Amino acid sequence: MKYQKEKLAKNQLEIKVELEAVEFDQIFFEAIQELGKKINLPGFRPGQAPLDLVERNIGQARILEAAADKAIARTLSEIIQKEKIVFINQPKIDILKLAKGNPLVFIAIFTLLPKVKLGDYKKIKVERKEIVLPPDKIKTILEELQEIHREEKPVQRPAQKNDRIEVSLEIFLDGVPLEGGQIKNASFFLNKDYYLPGFCESLLGLRIGESKRFFLRYPETYFDRRLAGREAEFRVKVNNIYEVKLPAIDDDFARKVGPFDNLDQLKAEIEKDLRLEAERKEDERIEINILKNLVAISHFEEIPEVLIQEEEKKMFSELEHSLSQMKLNLAEYLSQIKKTKEDLEKEFRPKAEERIKTVLAIKAIAAEQGIEVTEQDIEEELIKQREMYKDKKEFLEYLDLPNYRDYLKHLLFNRKVIDWLKKQIVA
């Protein structure tokens, strides 16, 4: 066997292989024997018929194809081990010469996993910020709990500021009904202008059965690009009005909310939860900062196109999942932001490359430091999750799937590397 290597653009490697005729004839013979065991010829047991008879019945073309597959797999396996080739997906094969009694000549093109030269990551310094909770945050949470535990009663009087009102709502732009802008029973608290400034104020004083038509302009920063900065027409009809009574925020309220003896205990629990959430966000900020700096000071070989395309597909999948949570599809979202899928692909490309480089850098750190995930690590994490989700049968079944085990291994691997980096870097 002879072969030649040539490095191509986009981090690809071309290997041209020539298998001598005598070597290929031996593999051709093996292919006839294997195929002969799978056919029945009159007067012969499977695998006992003369090889020339097997060849005539199967056909030389089919045997050559089987022999070529066997020869390519065998020779490439030897070359990959000898050259220590680390590739991403199955190589592209192009057979140049294939005939009985002749050398087998083919080209294999590998897409290589890019190599990384790590920068001096020990010089990266990221300071942990002190956790300071906003002074009014506990008060805000208590008010939200107060609203959840409110009491309501239907009333027949005009709507007042502290009421909750249910209306049939229609929204128009330039006299044309807005797609998705018709709601049969929309609910609003009249003391909160969380939907659109001036909207709830426009409903004050209305009675059940009354209708009203009014115009308001959406803010320039409104999330729905169809509406941002535009004036819309609103047509409402009042269906129900409810007087809202909020409970006093005191010890009795705390006991009603949860297993607390008094209000101070409830406040302490809220503060604890807020602090844990703030610490989680700070950890996330630190990790992002470390990885961005690590990528910036490291050198990467050219990222293959196939890797970028796969990462872009993941990003589109993540976007579509997020949109589904908001009851939107990709087409609707693109219409709102006035962009095409091609526009998003251009925006995603540098982000996809950054994500790939981050993964490559994490793997390089792990290889350098001997960081790995063991089966024991996976089992211990599964035990924790089974205990955490013991009351959620559907999730427990999900834990036993092989794909979840692979996902968990990847998750733990990243966590181990990032935790190691944080110990070296965070001041």
Cβ neighbours of residue 154 closer than 8 Å, sequence gap 6 or more: 240, 241, 242, 243
Kindly tell me the burial class for residue 215, based on how many C-beta atoms sit within 10 Å of its own C-beta (0-12, 13-18, 19 or more).
Answer: exposed
- Higher pLDDT: 57 or 149? It is 149
For residues 325, 326, 332, 333, the Cα torsion angle rounded to the nearest 10 degrees is: -90
Closest CA to 327 of 196, 230, 185, 183: 183
* pLDDT, tens digit, 9 for 90 and up, residues 149-172: 999 999 999 999 999 999 999 999
Mean pLDDT of 358-376: 95
Mean pLDDT of 390-418: 87
Give the start-to-end residue ranges of the domains of the chain: 2-112, 151-245
> 3-class DSSP state for residue 92?
strand
| Phi, psi (deg, nearest 5) at residue 213 | -125, 130
In our burial notation (b when 16+ CB lie closer than 10 A, e otherwise), range 362-401 reads bbbbbeeeebebeeebbeebeeebeeeeeeeeeeeeeeee
Residue 50, pLDDT > 70, answer: no
The Cα–Cα gap between 329 and 313 comes to 16
Closest CA to 150 of 162, 136, 138: 162
Q: Are strands 12-19 and 2-8 parallel, antiparallel or unpaired?
A: antiparallel
DSSP 328-347: --HHHHHHHHT--HHHHHHH
| Phi, psi (deg, nearest 5) at residue 395 | -70, -35
Task: Tell me if 49 sits within 8 A of 41, measured CB to CB.
Answer: yes
* pLDDT, tens digit, 9 for 90 and up, residues 62-118: 888 989 999 999 999 999 999 999 898 889 999 999 998 999 999 999 999 999 999
Number of residues written out for the chain: 427
Total-model pTM? 0.74
For residues 222, 224, 228, 234, the Cα torsion angle rounded to the nearest 10 degrees is: -100
| Phi, psi (deg, nearest 5) at residue 238 | -75, 125
* pLDDT, tens digit, 9 for 90 and up, residues 346-359: 999 999 999 999 99
Kindly tell me the burial class for residue 116, based on how many C-beta atoms sit within 10 Å of its own C-beta (0-12, 13-18, 19 or more).
Answer: buried
* pLDDT, tens digit, 9 for 90 and up, residues 281-340: 999 999 999 999 999 999 999 999 989 999 999 999 999 999 888 778 888 888 878 889
Q: What fold characterizes domain 151-245?
A: Chitinase A; domain 3 (3.10.50)
Instruction: Using pLDDT thresholds of 50, 70 and 90, give the confidence band for residue 47.
Output: low
Q: What fold characterizes domain 2-112?
A: Alpha-Beta Plaits (3.30.70)
pLDDT at 62: 86
What mean pLDDT value characterizes the chain?
91
pLDDT at 168: 96
Residue 212 pairs with which residues in a beta bridge?
A: 236
The Cα–Cα gap between 68 and 52 comes to 19
